[in-house]
Structure 1
Amino acid sequence: MQHLTTLDASFLQAEDSDPHVSLAVGAVSIIEGPQPDYHELIEVFAERAHRIPRCTQIVRMRPFDLAAPEWVDDPYFDIGHHLHRVAVPAPGADAELFAMIATIMERRLDRDRPLWECWIIEGLAGGRWATLIKIHHCIADGIATAQMLAKLSDDGAGETFAADIRAARESGSSIVGLLRPRLNPVAWMSGAWRATLTAGSAAEHAIVGAAELTARVLAPGQESSLNGPVTGMRRFSAATVDLGVMKDVSRHFGVTLNDVALAAITSGYRNMLLARGESPGPRTLRTLVPVSMRSASDFDVTDNRVSAMLPLLPVDEPDPVRQLDIVHRRLLRAKGSGQREGGTAVFAAAGNIPFALSAWTIRFLTRLPQKSVTALATNVPGPRGRQRVLGRKVVEILPIPPIALHLRTGIAMLSYARRFSFGITADYDTAPDVDTLARGIENGVQCLADLCGVGRGPGSGVPARPNAEAANDKNPA
């Protein structure tokens, strides 16, 4: 029997704090036809789901939170409770697909059953169909979720872009490495001394980072329509660009791929705020940027291993190159300040106090109307190779983030094969212009690409989504 970590359980507690939010994450795989027989799909997905423990386990809560929740096998597991079939209305373009995604993601997962669903979406234009996998965030973070989804494909979890992230490249604890047994006692003593110094330095770094994160959360940002209460309805939109173009831009300007993506997001939010008649200020877009702390050896471990940074994205800066430069410098500063280590330290410390106290504290804090953070931007590295489902090629994967804690929009990014996708979830009532944000992101990438001479030729540049603008005119139930 396995307990949820304090971080895992916090997603359940945050969901409890607001009846209008669902903290499920998702991904839509758009697949080339012809669509398989539905009964064949049920049989295949049932077999593959049984290979993933969390797909057949439920969360057992303890009375009064006296102990952490536990994962236990569901004795009544039935794939029929988790596999659903739906068709989009004609003509089955992005508009209809996005409206269906928003509708599916609005509803909370049933906590009396394993916390996932798979929706088979039929009727897409061009003879395509799709699968939408919906998983509660308490089960897994972005990388672990991507690994779970890959196991439902024909080839299973193969090579992933997650191998490129910082945490995956770092070997185990430096302290453990320094203290490993040595034949030479002098060398061992030297290693022990250096490990002590490293531990002290790391602890100090984490404390400074935790203090900085706390200060960022407590400092109110500029008043903006991006922050405030949300309703129970959602909108969804997406932007897709060529991964090769993103890499060319990052190499040309000497920045990371994530810097380019966040600069494009900055441009998109700036366009949206200006269209709303608001004046973007230097403190308008404090953004929650989750950071993976997962090593390569733990890719198959299903849980949450993330920390966070809280940079200000420069929506007040109109020049795209200066935007990118500011994003790059602020991300470097946030990484160097210890914010990622500080966030991890906070939840590690919470794991050492009675669970009831941490659970009640999280519920209390997440009920408070925070006004400092206004956006979410999470980057999920996906599969490097093309996936197939029952022999059919997956042509595109769109990530679906949740929104909560007074954030009215959230953006998830996912790299898959040669594409880089931005999935945008928004509150239905307060973000009717979510497609403006999506188009602004695509234009932001294209603008940077044009400045460094990357063309819009076949297979490159920013693919147009001409039908997406109508996706959120009406959200059919």
Structure 2
Amino acid sequence: MSKITQIPMSGVDLSWLRMDTPENPMMISSVLIFDAAIAIADLKRVLNERFLKFRRFRQRVVEKSSKAYWQDDPLFNLDNHVHRRALPGSADKTELQALVSDLNSSVMDFRRPLWQIDYVDNYQGGCALIVRIHHCIADGISLVRVLLSLTDPTPQPYIPKPRPTRPEKAVLKPLSRWMHKAVSSAQVAGQQASILFQSLRSEPGYALRLAGTAGDIALDLLNLGLMPFDPKTGLRRPLCGRKQVAWTEALNLNDVKHCAKAMGGTINDTLLCAATGAIRRHLLESNEAIPDCGIRVAVPFNLRPLNQPISVLGNQFGLMLVSLPIEIDGPKARFQQIQNTMNELKRSYQAQVTYSLLDLFGRGPGMLERRALAMLSNKASAVLTNVPGPREAVYLAGSKLRQPMFWVPQSGSIGIGMSIFSYAGSVHFGITVDQGIQACPNAIMDYFHDSFYELAKTAGIELEPPAKLLAADVKTKPPRRERRQSA
């Protein structure tokens, strides 16, 4: 009987595994809506050829004492991970959102590899895929790229030429493997030292710049630790673990670009401003006092080069805590404040600092990580992601992808996740909210649109909101509650 190989989990990946709680399962989720039905046999063929080439999707998590390992699942079967479902009732968007909400509220079977795909039949003349993958496998940006690697730029799938098989390398014995790692590490250390000394000789000011960078990193670490908790609002209530998801009609990407140019900023500044306006509107409609200091959102920042092919999965990103000026009424002043904040963060090392902290926490005792996580999660009220997707439409097994949505999980005491994803000339906005937070997800979707059109009008651009939004405006907005008097 062959010995089962176990691969130690990295410190960062272990951190995300430990963050899993009943209130916040650490699942990255996605809804992919297609124009036409996809045969289950074709879907499984694509998964076998492109998805399962990543060994991690065939491996389960095994925990021993305070450590975790990746281990090949001896009973792996694709049918355990791909399920076929039909929506009840009218099988419309409301029913699909209810199904996604239910799945996002449930945990996976840790006896098997931590991913699941649910195929939804007969949705709006086509089909939908609901994909859930645990965060310990990889970060959201990497998994988005993995899922998009299942698609083709045309309805005709690309069939790669078969490569000649190579004989597998003999498995190294433990002592040989240790010696190989030691030699490799020594070589890397020698290369880095050579680069350092060469830089010191050729650039007299290099040492000062290096010291300055170290000082900046230390300062960012200190600022992160001293940063006060986010203010108490209705966005921060005790969580119950039941999720509600919603997504809205897409914005035209060209409209967003024109607005950003007219305001003298970036697309990211524009979308963050729209999200800020949506949160402000929600608090006003809920008759809540707006905190004078605004709120913060945790924004994932990719540390993996986008032009680098993903051959190995794992988490390579940091988090930036971004202040959203919800206390500012005017969209122009709100935009300028966000622009200033983002320019400052681009010059900081906050993402690298948080990545290093997650790696450190994953290597230490679980109790230390839980306390540190509780402290960090109290410094933000929501998670917000903004991921650029393909510029042109893509196809899976010949079926055109009409609308993609992705959500990353929330950790600790955070119960709101907002997702912005650009695809084929459109910008898609979605949200997931814990039911313990008194917020209507569909209403916040409408507020996002309203906030963007208000900003565009301020920029001197006249845009006509989609007719569907105007018709749904009255239906989705919750009734106003009486304003609470702040102490």
Q: TM-score range by the shorter chain?
A: 0.7 to 0.9
Q: In the aligned structure 2, how far is the partner of 1:57 from the partner of 1:193?
A: 50
Q: In the aligned structure 1, how far is the partner of 2:114 from the partner of 2:265?
A: 38
The alpha carbon displacement at 1:199 in A equals 2.6
Q: In the aligned structure 2, how far is the partner of 1:348 from the partner of 1:199?
A: 23
Does 2:261 correspond to 1:258? no
Residue of structure 2 in register with 1:205 after alignment: 216
Contact 1:208–1:342 at 8 Å: present in 2 too?
A: no
Return the match for 1:444 from 447, 451, 455. 451
Q: In the aligned structure 2, how far is the partner of 1:341 from the partner of 1:468?
A: 42
Does 2:19 correspond to 1:14? yes
TM-score of the pair, normalised by structure 1: 0.83
The alpha carbon displacement at 1:196 in A equals 3.1
Does 2:26 correspond to 1:28? no
Gapped regions of structure 1 (runs ≥ 5)? 159-175
Contact 1:369–1:406 at 8 Å: present in 2 too?
A: no
Give the letter for the 1:5 counterpart. S
Distance change >3 Å, CA 278–CA 329, structure 1 → 2 = same
Q: In the aligned structure 2, how far is the partner of 1:402 from the partner of 1:39?
A: 30
Contact 2:152–2:395 at 8 Å: present in 1 too?
A: yes
- CA deviations on 1:387-418 (whole Å, 9 max, x unpaired) are 11110110111112323322221112211121
Does 2:355 correspond to 1:344? yes
Q: In the aligned structure 2, how far is the partner of 1:188 from the partner of 1:368?
A: 39
Distance change >3 Å, CA 462–CA 348, structure 1 → 2 = farther
Distance change >3 Å, CA 121–CA 237, structure 1 → 2 = same
The alpha carbon displacement at 1:284 in A equals 4.2
Q: In the aligned structure 1, how far is the partner of 2:47 from the partner of 2:342?
A: 40
Does 2:46 correspond to 1:38? no
The alpha carbon displacement at 1:200 in A equals 1.8
Q: In the aligned structure 1, how far is the partner of 2:234 from the partner of 2:380?
A: 12
TM-score of the pair, normalised by structure 2: 0.82
Residue of structure 2 in register with 1:82 after alignment: 81
Contact 2:105–2:243 at 8 Å: present in 1 too?
A: yes
Contact 2:297–2:382 at 8 Å: present in 1 too?
A: yes
Return the match for 1:314 from 319, 325, 333. 325
Q: In the aligned structure 2, how far is the partner of 1:7 from the partner of 1:342?
A: 12
Does 2:115 correspond to 1:110? no
- CA deviations on 1:355-378 (whole Å, 9 max, x unpaired) are 243x33113334569543211111
The alpha carbon displacement at 1:37 in A equals 3.0
Q: In the aligned structure 2, how far is the partner of 1:209 from the partner of 1:462?
A: 43
- CA deviations on 1:405-452 (whole Å, 9 max, x unpaired) are 222211122111211112200012423412121111111112222333
Contact 1:93–1:467 at 8 Å: present in 2 too?
A: no
Return the match for 2:401 from 394, 399, 419. 394
Describe how 1:89-104 pairs up with structure 2 within 5 A. Answer: 89-104=88-103
Residue of structure 2 in register with 1:234 after alignment: 243
- CA deviations on 1:211-266 (whole Å, 9 max, x unpaired) are 112222xx133220101321121101113212221111122212121111111110
Higher Cα Rg: structure 1 or 2? 2
Q: In the aligned structure 2, how far is the partner of 1:404 from the partner of 1:346?
A: 15
Return the match for 2:278 from 239, 245, 268. 268
Residue of structure 1 in register with 2:56 after alignment: 54
- CA deviations on 1:23-81 (whole Å, 9 max, x unpaired) are 10111111002x133344334433433222222122222x221x4x2222222111111
Residue of structure 2 in register with 1:119 after alignment: 118
Residue of structure 2 in register with 1:247 after alignment: 257
- CA deviations on 1:53-110 (whole Å, 9 max, x unpaired) are 222122222x221x4x222222211111110111223433322221121111111122
- CA deviations on 1:276-295 (whole Å, 9 max, x unpaired) are 11021233422112211112
Contact 1:224–1:284 at 8 Å: present in 2 too?
A: no
Does 2:8 correspond to 1:3? yes
Q: In the aligned structure 2, how far is the partner of 1:260 from the partner of 1:398?
A: 19
